[in-house]
Amino acid sequence: MTKTATATPGPLLLSPGDHALLMIDHQSQMAFATKSIDITLLRTNVALVAQAARGFATPTILTTVAAKSFSGPIFSELTDALPDVEISDRTSMNSWEDAAVIARVNAIGKDRLVIAGLWTSVCIVGPVLSALDQGFEVYVITDACGDTSEEAHERAVTRMVQAGAHPMTALQYLLELQRDWARTDTYATTTGIAAVHGGAYGIGIAYATAMFGGSEAHG
């Protein structure tokens, strides 16, 4: 039978109000040993995600592990973008085993979670596999994660995908929330974030605006 296409988005696409964002253990000590991604790029991607969460009013959970005794402060890119979001400090490597974090997940009440953090193979695999086991739909922003080696990061991502998680990138996250340039209420927010944190794409936006007054929506 011939399929009939309709101009509607698929249910697997993210929307601003349909998920909670968990940013886990983006901390100094964890970053020191991260080798799977350049730390400057990691911080740029974290900033992009945090700014997207603020711009689209996405409910966000920030959590650290042993902040005062070992792992140090959370990235300033997160606190600068989300100054009013409480930071939950834990002792457990798996944040899903922390009652305070789970209370915040339940208070937000979203069945769809987007997760990123350090390290991929420990502090991200733990909550992702745990959430999947409890029936949550989970997306992982893989380039806002990092690990002690490329091997550790890639094996962790493979393991999570095999369990049912959906991988994506930081820029993909931002653009998927916008999705339509005719959404003028968030157009400037999206292009503004991309211009600062979107790498070559952001440079292109800045160039088009400066040279031609161009926009995604109006060519």
- Count the residues in the chain: 219
Architecture label for domain 20-175: 3-Layer(aba) Sandwich (3.40)
Residue 206: predicted pLDDT: 85
Consecutive 10-residue runs of the chain (219 residues): their mean pLDDT? 94 96 97 97 98 98 95 97 97 98 98 98 98 98 98 98 98 98 95 94 88 63
Residues with Cβ within 8 Å of 205's Cβ and at least 6 positions away in sequence, in order, are: 191, 194, 195, 198, 216
Strands (E), the chain: 20-24, 60-65, 87-90, 112-117, 137-141, 166-168
Q: Is 123 a catalytic residue?
A: yes
Distance CA(209)–CA(65), nearest Å, equals: 42
- The active-site residue, picked from 14, 65, 123, 165, is 123
- Model confidence, pTM: 0.95
Residue 162: predicted pLDDT: 98
Buried b (16+ CB within 10 A) or exposed e, 169-199: bbbebbbbbbeebeeeebbebbbebbbebbe
Residue 9: predicted pLDDT: 94
In the chain, domain spans: 20-175, 180-212
Residue 213: predicted pLDDT: 75
Distance CA(190)–CA(219), nearest Å, equals: 16
